[in-house]
Structure 1
């Protein structure tokens, strides 16, 4: 199984669920959207990119990787699907 890497703009509202499994405050639809992305890409790791002091730099984006316009964080993604689709 070959590992692929990519830098993607992930909505900040989804990161607690993606990284820690904490779905607090998420709707069933948001959880399904995240799970569909994780399964489609066969995501292994999501790591927010931080500055030299360990702080993330969120910013607003009209077209995040999934969902509606939102604050996002640049994240390094390791995944195994050779042909991932944007959600």
Structure 2
């Protein structure tokens, strides 16, 4: 039986297009590989951005979910727990 767990993570804004729509425009091959490896290693099923009705503004984080300090948005990440 597979169970799911959710967590709020600080997702870099520059990765949102890739994580949500699969659009790697503006990302390097290294960026894409790092994200793909993280998704696989952490068994990520889904990254959900804040809904349009939430008052969510990007902010700076020194400790984003992946990468160097940058602008982030809090997103719900669904992990597969086996």
**2:59 corresponds to:** 59
Deviations 1:30-83 (A, max 9, x none): 1011101110111111112246x355411011110110110000000111146x
Give the alignment's TM-score, normalised by structure 2.
Answer: 0.88
**1:73 corresponds to:** 73
Query: The residue matched to 2:3 in structure 1 has which SS?
Result: coil
Give the alignment's TM-score, normalised by structure 1.
Answer: 0.83
Using CA pairs under 8 Å that are at least 6 residues apart, name the structure with larger relative contact order, 1 or 2: 2
Runs of 4+ in 1 over 4 A off after TM superposition: none
Gaps (5+ residues) in structure 2? none
Aligned residues: 81
Gaps (5+ residues) in structure 1? 83-87
**1:49 corresponds to:** 50
Would you tell me which structure has more strand in proportion to its own residues?
A: 2
